[in-house]
Amino acid sequence: MGDVHRLPIRNLPPALPDCSAIRAWELLRSGARVTHGTLGSLVAMLDAGAPPADVFAQIDLLNTQLAACGCAVTFLKATGAPPSAA
């Protein structure tokens, strides 16, 4: 399990149209913050024994947020712009 970070990124969504490296890094940062909060809420729901419908709704939200982050990642991988570009 320690080698998961070495797996290639697959099936990323299309890159953002008409974007800049600065904007893509901003989108990735804000998306990561929101996703982090959603994931924390999901863990709390699981710990509290929330109903499956609520858990699955939270997972759907998380998946949507991750897809949005993926668009920024696709753009940044294509441009090769480092985080300092933002």
40 domain-assigned: yes
DSSP class of residue 11 equals S
Q: Which residue in 31, 41, 40 sits closest to 67, CA to CA?
A: 31
Q: What is the pLDDT of residue 39?
A: 94
Distance, in Å, from the CA atom of 48 to the CA atom of 62, rounded to the nearest integer, reads 18
12 domain-assigned: no
Structural domain of 71: 36-81
Spell out the per-residue pLDDT of the chain, length 86, in tens.
445 445 455 666 676 677 788 888 888 899 999 999 999 999 999 999 999 999 999 999 998 888 888 888 888 888 887 777 66
Please count the structural domains in the chain: 1
Rg of the chain (C-alpha set): 15
